[in-house]
Structure 1
Amino acid sequence: MEHFKINGQQFYNMVVNASNRLEEQMEYVNALNVFPVPDGDTGTNMSMTFTTAVNEISGMESKTISEISKTLAKGALMGARGNSGVILSQIFRGIAKGLEGHTEVTSDMVANALHEGAVFAYKAVMRPTEGTILTIIRAAGDSALSIAIEEEDIVELLRKVCIASEDMLNKTPEMLPQLKKAKVVDAGGMGLLILFKGMLEALETGLVCKPSKVKQEPVVKAETANVGSVQEIENGYCTEFFVNGENIDVDKFKNEISKLGDSMVVVGLEDIVKVHIHSNDPGRVLSIAAKLGELTKIKIDNMREQHRNLNNIVEEASPSIIEEEEMKKYGFISVARGKGIEAILSDLGVDCVIEGGQTMNPSTQDILDSINKINAEHIFILPNNKNIIMAANQAVELTEKNVHVIPTKTIPQGITALTMVDLEAEVEANIETMNDAMANVATASVTFAVKDTEAEGKAINEGDILGLVEDNITEVGSDIFKVCSSVIESMVDEYSELLTIYFGEDVDEEEVSKFVEELEEKYPDLDVQCYDGKQPLYYFIMSVE
């Protein structure tokens, strides 16, 4: 059946089916990750990002294609997880831009939207790498513009776009040597192709689809803020919502509602504004906002009632009077997994530890929620994982607070950076100090192989013990302590002063103690420190400074 136009209802079914198909094939996409270590989560990140986006449009079948695509893009933006999820969110922001203002669209409009998706994706990455999801969306956009010149049937357009995208995907091993060695295509590109094929399937067959729900959410852990008396809460209702509109004058809106409360945060992002304010008249705030556009995600909490409930708990624990928390100069957010590592970060002054890292990247919304919990002039985010840095930067763009991302890629880098903070120093000095300290930390880890493969010229079988220095597999063996010892030996040189080891939840503590004694004898000039990190998946995380 030919389709010369598609409307909002058809687009809704297309993206819902795409999300469902990606969720079904999520583990297949994960398996395409080059490294055999247990953090191959491209499929998981893309699926959770898009499932969150699709949940945002649930029940919008009757809306225009412009309205649905805008809401979908917003959901992807807030739900983005990992680098692949952030790039995917930018692709659909571009697609929404191309569909903006239309009730239904023709093939040339669809082609333009795909092209916009590529433009937005490339802008999101500082140093684009070809042979990745970026290459696939560019191939899709370029082919769509060429095909749409003669093809008016959108089904045929999408079919040919999928063919062109798949042809380019099959060429990715020639663009990236690591893909060729592992004999796989790019995982992110495959995820995007699955989405496109899901969209084509729904349009071609007339599927009516229902979205699934996000099943996994990282847990944000934070210190409990000190509270005062009910009488000290001047504005009692914490009011949060989004405004979806066009050409909103954010500054004018802020001035209008500023007199109605305090603790106000109003952030504008193109055609969507996020609002947070403490007010005694939330109805009036909402009334003013409703003049600007459609209100969504409205949440009003009675803080006086919450305070009374919290005080009941606090009073049972201690009869002492707790005073209201004042704004401090610095606040800290860090991402980590492992009870021991989380405790270390808290001891170093981290306000919010987001549970996440390998295999479980927090979303942009998770990071933004942590930012909103902290009452500080300047907030530092330490992602401690290269796959979380983009989501952290995206969260920074969505807040008015002074937030700085220190691009730590490992737990040891994050811990070392925190130890160098001077709470009395100016923010620029601390940023420079933390970045310098991070750069001087060499990180290694010991984990296990999740599949058979070959890496760095080494044959690897599923279950093998792997030693990694930074991102390179340097050791393959069967004994975690022997592999760990070999990795450390490769890292230590005449300039090394400190060796730090964090052992995981699957390692025997007594055996670790014996191992540390052996290391101290072997390296008498080294200060050897060992901590029970209780981290999953990684037997050891080490650093040499």
Structure 2
Amino acid sequence: MKYQKINGHDFYNMVVNASNRLLEESEYVNALNVFPVPDGDTGTNMSATFKAAVKEIEGLNSMSIAETSKKLAKGALMGARGNSGVILSQILRGISKGLEGKNEVDAIELAIAFKEGSNAAYKAVMRPTEGTILSVIRAAADAAIDTDVKDIVDIMDVIVTEAKIMLDKTPDLLPALKKAKVVDSGGMGLYIILKGMYDALRDDIKAEIRDIKPATAKMQGAQGTEDIDIKFGYCTEFIILADASKAEKFRDDITPMGDSQVVVGYEDVIKVHIHTNDPGAVLAKAVKLGELSKIKIDNMREEHREVLLSKEEYKEANIDDSAHFEGEAAVEELEQEKKKYAFVAVAMGEGITNIFKDLGVDYVIEGGQTMNPSTQDIMECVSKLNAEHIFVLPNNKNIIMSANQAAEIADKDVRVIPTTTIPQGITCVTMFNPELEVDENVENLKEAREMVKTGSVTYAVRDTEMDGIEIKEGNILGLIEGKIKRVGESYFDITEEILSDMIDEDSELITIFYGEDVTEEEAEEFAEKIEEKYEELDVQCYKGAQPLYYFLVSVE
């Protein structure tokens, strides 16, 4: 086929075919992950992002390429998952800007639009790295600008050819890719998209959107709607103005009095959270240590009954309650009193999710490794919160860009604290001071996350060599701040080794979150061993129930 110009219908077929191709190849793109850990998700994120984009134009049937591309960009913006998905959404946003006001375009105009896509992608990244998806879109766009071909099929051929040439060069630009003997996964995802667009035009493909829905993040509010048996009825929170060294002994003292206890000490402050049936007894023990402040006691049974009653009243009144009771979130929005601060956090694992909720986080989006929430997922939480200032804790470096994108388009004051690990997020919530103004809190929370050293223990999904370390499939990997530091056969030994690497003379607190593949008995035995080894440090152990990672550990 030959095309001197393409319109909205042509562009529709191009991008839908591209989406279908990427969906087919998403696992292959995932497998290009440089790190041999079981959370390579670039293909999944890019495919979910592009699928959200084409879903936005489904049934549009517009001859205008401007209208089609604008809606496509909007869908990608809201559906963007992970860093690769956000960058892809910005490429589509730039292309849409280049096509603005046009019903159809020729080869030169299409080339200019691709250049706009490249420019937008580079602007979206604070420190652009060559050898990535950015290099691939730039090379493709520059080649389109420089060529003198007039046929659209021919210019798409140039774009695809140059994209492949640059993709093959990515290992020369990034040493990590060369060591792993792979090309950049984001660049490969983009190449598949461009090739799909080219094939649709060249072969006159009338594409139909594959009806396969990507996995969506699960959002949970602070309370569920199910009729549950609440063993300990009073959520009790307060601060003790006392020496932080007393925190461990106090935690042991109140452990028999309830559950969900979190006791954290920092300098001359001890922050306490516990679910108990006798708040008075807990406070009586606390006041012996020092002056009490910020006491907050909530009757969880009463609150739960009110939520259930409100839901039942809605049903009896024949009112569609979907806007007020979303899945398990069950948040009553009618006449909700505006508060000063609210929190949204991303977490993986039932135990970690519960910890965030127990600490007062308003919404927890269940996601993280292998399932990055989209900009839309974060926006849905933000839209339900009636607060002056909303803090978002991504708790994963691959979610920060989606969170920032949500903050930019929200009509509320949303502050993203760029936490890259679960322990950083938990520390930030713990150290939050509701009495401070928002800017001071932002600075304090950013400083608080820097206090946390994070380690993780998982397994290798393939053979490779990294930084001179030989790794075999199935090996246990110990990572510190995302970098592989230890390799072995036992996840208990590797966890102990990375803790040894992380602890220094300033360390005071070790926190252990055990995953779904570790039993409670094993975790408790391991924690006791660590306590004996580091008698001078406070050791806390929690059920994280996180997938893929046997242990997440932090040192503060």
TM-score range, shorter chain: 0.7 to 0.9
In structure 2, relative to structure 1, the CA distance for the partners of 1:403 and 1:37 (3 Å cut) is same
1:54 is matched with 54
Please, which of 328, 336, 339 is the counterpart of residue 328 of structure 1?
Answer: 339
2:62–2:68 Cα contact (<8 Å) kept:
no
2:37–2:458 Cα contact (<8 Å) kept:
yes
Q: How far has the Cα of 1:138 moved from its partner?
A: 0.6
Q: Which amino acid aligns with 2:136?
A: I
1:456–1:472 Cα contact (<8 Å) kept:
no
1:52-201 pair list within 5 angstroms: 52-147=52-147, 150-201=148-199
The reply on whether 1:442 has 2:453 as its aligned counterpart is yes
Moved over 4 A (4+): 304-307, 310-314
2:107–2:151 Cα contact (<8 Å) kept:
yes
1:258 is matched with none
Q: Which amino acid aligns with 1:71?
A: K
2:409 is matched with 398
1:291 is matched with none
The reply on whether 1:537 has 2:548 as its aligned counterpart is yes
1:308 is matched with 314
Q: Which amino acid aligns with 2:3?
A: H
Q: Which amino acid aligns with 2:472?
A: N
After superposition, what is the alpha-carbon deviation per residue over 1:151-205, rounded to whole angstroms, capped at 9, x for unaligned?
Answer: 0111111112111111111111111111111111110001000000000000000
Rounded to whole Å, the distance in 2 between the matches of 1:116 and 1:395 is 22
TM-score between both structures, scaled by the size of structure 1: 0.82
Rounded to whole Å, the distance in 1 between the matches of 2:171 and 2:480 is 24
2:420 is matched with 409
Two-structure CA RMSD over aligned residues (Å) = 2.1
Rounded to whole Å, the distance in 1 between the matches of 2:521 and 2:224 is 38
Name the SS of the counterpart of 1:25 in structure 2: helix
Moved more, 209-218 or 436-445: 209-218
2:221 is matched with 222
The reply on whether 1:480 has 2:491 as its aligned counterpart is yes
Name the SS of the counterpart of 2:554 in structure 1: strand
2:69–2:95 Cα contact (<8 Å) kept:
yes
2:83–2:398 Cα contact (<8 Å) kept:
yes
Rounded to whole Å, the distance in 1 between the matches of 2:317 and 2:476 is 50
Q: Which amino acid aligns with 1:36?
A: P
1:369-518 pair list within 5 angstroms: 369-518=380-529
After superposition, what is the alpha-carbon deviation per residue over 1:343-388, rounded to whole angstroms, capped at 9, x for unaligned?
Answer: 1101111000001000100000100000011111111000000011
In structure 2, relative to structure 1, the CA distance for the partners of 1:353 and 1:180 (3 Å cut) is same
1:69–1:95 Cα contact (<8 Å) kept:
yes
Structure 2 gaps of 5+ residues are 226-309, 325-332
Structure 1 gaps of 5+ residues are 227-303, 315-321
Rounded to whole Å, the distance in 1 between the matches of 2:62 and 2:311 is 39
2:140–2:158 Cα contact (<8 Å) kept:
no
The reply on whether 1:340 has 2:351 as its aligned counterpart is yes
Q: Which amino acid aligns with 1:216?
A: A
The reply on whether 1:202 has 2:200 as its aligned counterpart is yes
After superposition, what is the alpha-carbon deviation per residue over 1:395-417, rounded to whole angstroms, capped at 9, x for unaligned?
Answer: 01111211100000000000001
After superposition, what is the alpha-carbon deviation per residue over 1:223-270, rounded to whole angstroms, capped at 9, x for unaligned?
Answer: 3599xxxxxxxxxxxxxxxxxxxxxxxxxxxxxxxxxxxxxxxxxxxx
2:222–2:360 Cα contact (<8 Å) kept:
no
Rounded to whole Å, the distance in 1 between the matches of 2:334 and 2:362 is 18
1:9–1:61 Cα contact (<8 Å) kept:
yes
Q: How many residues align?
A: 460
The reply on whether 1:366 has 2:366 as its aligned counterpart is no
1:82–1:388 Cα contact (<8 Å) kept:
yes
1:9-20 pair list within 5 angstroms: 9-20=9-20
1:55–1:212 Cα contact (<8 Å) kept:
no
In structure 2, relative to structure 1, the CA distance for the partners of 1:504 and 1:225 (3 Å cut) is closer
Name the SS of the counterpart of 2:361 in structure 1: coil
